[in-house]
């Protein structure tokens, strides 16, 4: 499987933590993105009436993942949406990493969507992105 994630039970007593994995950094981003989307709402219950093109850049891949996930939280509040999907592409040029994505979702509607947790932010607590051979892993704690 190119990417995966699992929720962690033994840390962040009052909040939510997950570990995402990927066969590449790009796949790691996809795994972490999916974990966040599924924390907010069941993506299959969310339509696609709202879209937003996003690009973010950073020299450090861990900082970029943090900023990218924070951007998803920002638009959740600013536009009042939850997400169906967030297909993304990650590139590296001249030492700068760039993530490009089109966020796809719909305004919050508790009648038709399976809503879950209102994540308020991504935290730096125990935050890490690391590589073991070909495998990339990220640990993320979400403040809810």
Residues contributing to the site for another protein (CB under 8 A): 7-16, 40-41, 70, 73-74, 76-78, 80-82, 107-108, 110, 114-118, 120-121, 123-125, 143-144
Min dist. Cβ of residue 144 to another protein (A): 4
Minimum CB distance to another protein, residue 135 (Å): 23
- Strand (E) positions, the chain? 3-8, 16-22, 50-58, 81-85, 88-93, 96-107, 121-132, 135-143
Distance (Å, rounded) from C-alpha 126 to C-alpha 59? 21
Which residue number, 24 or 42, has a Cβ lying nearer to another protein?
42
Nearer to another protein, 15 or 23 (CB): 15
Query: DSSP 3-state assignment of 68?
Result: helix
Q: What are phi and psi of 23, to 5 degrees?
A: -75, -10
Q: Closest CB to another protein among 70 and 102?
A: 70
Closest approach of another protein to the CB of residue 17, in Å: 8
Q: How many whole angstroms separate alpha carbon 53 and alpha carbon 102? A: 4
Whichever of 85 and 143 has its CB closer to another protein, that residue is: 143
Q: How far apart are CA 24 and CA 136, in angstroms?
A: 6
CB of 20 to another protein, least distance (A): 15
């Amino acid at each position: 499987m190119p990417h995966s994630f699992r929720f962690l039970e033994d840390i962040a007593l009052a909040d939510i933590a997950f570990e995402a994995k990927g066969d590449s950094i790009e796949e790691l981003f996809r795994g972490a993105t999916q974990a966040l989307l599924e924390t907010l709402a069941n993506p299959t219950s969310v339509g696609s009436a709202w879209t937003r093109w996003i690009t973010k850049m950073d020299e450090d891949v861990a900082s970029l993942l943090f900023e990218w996930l924070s951007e998803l939280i920002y638009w959740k509040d600013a536009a009042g949406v939850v997400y169906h999907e967030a297909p993304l592409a990650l590139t590296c040029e001249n030492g700068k990493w760039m993530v490009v994505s089109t966020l796809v979702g719909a305004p919050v509607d508790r009648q038709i969507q399976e809503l879950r947790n209102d994540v308020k932010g991504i935290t730096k607590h125990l935050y890490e992105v690391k590589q073991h051979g070909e495998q990339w892993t990220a640990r993320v704690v979400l403040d809810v």
